[in-house]
Amino acid sequence: MPENKDSHEGPDLDAAYALKTPEDSVRLYRDWAASYDSDFASSMDYRLPQAVADAFAAAGGAGPVLDVGAGTGLLAEGLARHGIGPVDALDISAEMLETARGKGFYRELMQADLTQGLSIADDSYGGITSSGTFTHGHVGPEALDELMRIARPGARFALSINAAVYREAGFAAKLDSLGGALRDLRLEEVPIYGAAADPAHRGDTALVALFVKA
Ligand SMILES: C[S@@+](CC[C@H](N)C(=O)[O-])C[C@H]1O[C@@H](n2cnc3c(N)ncnc32)[C@H](O)[C@@H]1O
């Protein structure tokens, strides 16, 4: 059952959507890492990581994959169901990465801020995935330049972008501006949560941006 929000004093979805800076994310996810899977993912019937993994697999995605904003590793678990690997994790929160590490789905775990330059070589990855990180108060479209740089030519992307911020936060314009640097762009709209979710968010959707680095 969803928690009664009035009695909830820890991190929750509304606090996450209200984040403003990377430092805010570090603080919130430090406190959320231990309970995120039970307190949020399970109680909200959080379906997005598996939906992104399914879309990546259906589009022919293959490793090595970088999962950005990897959190506790739910998307890597979804990729493992398709036999896709190896998968590396990148996240700004050391505590979320530690929770993910314990599950054993990632080859490497990197603590880094997606809004800054990444210490990863050009053309490193054959796939880039993300769920729940391009959303209210989190990471904006500026991160796409670095992700394009570290992807190999021909790399498959599957990135969820909260539908409510897709135009408003500049993702549509950014993908347009990348022009010939990418090909086969399509957007798949998927529910973020299932029927058991808090009614306030039950209808929320994300666009899974599927494209290939040219
Ligand atoms: C809603 S969680 C999603 C985690 C996981 N992908 C999932 O679907 O369960 C968002 C994640 O983005 C990470 N994050 C937020 N801002 C970030 C930034 N600037 N750089 C890297 N990761 C960031 C958070 O630490 C958190 O783990």
Domain CATH number, residue 43: 3.40.50.150
Q: What is the mean pLDDT of residues 100-109?
A: 98
- Taking the centre of ligand 1 as the mean of its atom positions, its distance from the CA of residue 29, in whole angstroms, is 8
Answer yes or no: is 1 within a domain.
no
Answer yes or no: is 2 within a domain.
no
For ligand 1, atom 1, which residue shows the shortest CA distance? 132
Q: Is pLDDT above 50 for 8?
A: no
- Taking the centre of ligand 1 as the mean of its atom positions, its distance from the CA of residue 26, in whole angstroms, is 9
Count of the separate structural domains present in the chain: 1
For ligand 1, atom 5, which residue shows the shortest CA distance? 71
Can you count the helices (H) and strands (E) in the chain?
Answer: 7, 7
Which atom of ligand 1 is found nearest the CA of 41?
9
Cβ of residue 162 lying under 6 Å from some atom of ligand 1: no
Range of the domain at 34: 11-213
Q: Is pLDDT above 60 for 68?
A: yes
Q: How confident is the model at residue 135 (pLDDT cuts 50, 70, 90)?
A: very high
